[in-house]
Every structure is written in structure tokens, then in C-alpha cells.
Amino acid sequence: MKSFGLSAIAQAVALCAGSLMFCASASAMGDHAAYEQAKANAKATYETDHKACESMAGNAKDVCVAEAKAKREKTEVNAEADWKNTPKAREHAAHESAEADYKVAKERCEAKAGNEKDVCIKEAKAAETKTEADAKAMRKTADAHKDANEDKMKADYKVAAEKCDSLSGDAKSHCVDAAKTRYHQ
């Protein structure tokens, strides 16, 4: 298996989490069947990957198993985040992915000794913390954008409703109804 540096893993997770969060919209939840299929695929891939680890020994085997578990966990939580399609779900997925990457990195550190091992574990924990902080910031940003958009819609609705006041009867009713529909009020 190819080994990646901790900062590369943290950057990759942060990029994935960021991309997913900013692509999230206020639309309806995603396809549950696709979520279930992704979970089934993750399980099948995990079983295949886990079997490949059986021929290994020692720390190499432990790392291989940890990577297989992490791959499954990350696939499942990202599928769930896609299905739920909320900033909170995407933040949760980023946190779970960071934790899975931390477990793999920590297992890799087990092959080291002394200060080198201590530093390795601290770097792994730092990468996890940074990724989680980025995910939290992205969720807060997404929430702030959502709140700002709601405020803008309310303000635009008030303007449109005020314009309707110059009308009377059915014309005013249709105007107000159209404004409510347009500005989701």
C-alpha cells in the first residue's frame, strides 16, 4: 500500500469536506437507495481489502487493516452526508473521516520508537484537529450563507409586498401570492 504524509491526508480530507459542504444546498434529501448501495459497496470493498491483509504480518498487517476500516468508514459517512445533504451532516462526515485517518496514521506510528513515535502521534493528532477545525469553519460558513440568504429573501419579500399595496382587489391578492411564492414566505 502506498504511504502518504499526514499533512497530505489532512489536506485531502479538508478539500473533500470543503467541496462537499459548498456543494450542499437547501434542497431535499438525497437518494436513500444510493446511500444504501454505497454502504453495501463499502462493505464488499472492506471484505476484499481485509482479506488482502491476511497475508501480511506485524505492523504492516495492522496498518493494512486500519486502512481498510478507514476506507469503509469514510465511504459510509460521505454517502450518509450526500444523502442527508446538510452542512451538519457534511461536518460530521469530515470529523469521522479525520478520525479514521488518525487511526491509520497512529497505527503507522506504532512501527516507530521513542521520540520519533511520540512526534509521529502528535503530528497525526494535529492533522486530525486541523481537519476537524476546517470542517467546523466550513459548516459555520455554510450556515452563515444560509442565514444571509434567508434575510435577503425576507427583505426582498417586504419590498415586493409594499409594491403590491398600490394595487387593490384581486390584483393585489395575486401580487401578494406571487411575492410569497417567489420569496418563499
Concatenated DSSP letters of 143-171: HHHHHHHHHHHHHHHHHHHHHHTT--HHH
Task: Output the pLDDT for position 20.
Answer: 41
Task: Output the pLDDT for position 22.
Answer: 38
Provide the domain count of the chain.
Answer: 2
Q: Is 17 found in the same domain as 92?
A: yes
Q: Is 100 found in the same domain as 168?
A: no
Q: What angle is formed at CA 172 by the lines to CA 181 and CA 184, rounded to 5 degrees?
A: 15
Least confident of 6-10, 29-33, 87-91, 110-114: 6-10
Does this model's pTM top 0.75? My answer is no
| pLDDT at residue 40 tops 60 | yes
| pLDDT at residue 30 tops 70 | no
What CA–CA distance (Å, rounded) separates 8 from 107? Answer: 17
Task: Output the pLDDT for position 31.
Answer: 86
- Whether 1 maps to a domain, the answer reads no
Domain that holds residue 170: 150-182
- Whether 74 maps to a domain, the answer reads yes
Q: Is 99 found in the same domain as 23?
A: yes
Spatial CA neighbour of 92 closest among 142, 21, 42 = 21
3-state SS class at 89: helix
Q: Is 62 found in the same domain as 40?
A: yes
Averaged pLDDT for residues 79-99 = 93
- Residue 184 backbone class (left: φ over 0; alpha: ψ -120 to 50; beta: rest): left
Query: What is the tens place of the pLDDT at every residue in 122-176?
Result: 999 999 999 999 999 999 998 899 999 999 999 999 999 999 999 999 999 999 9
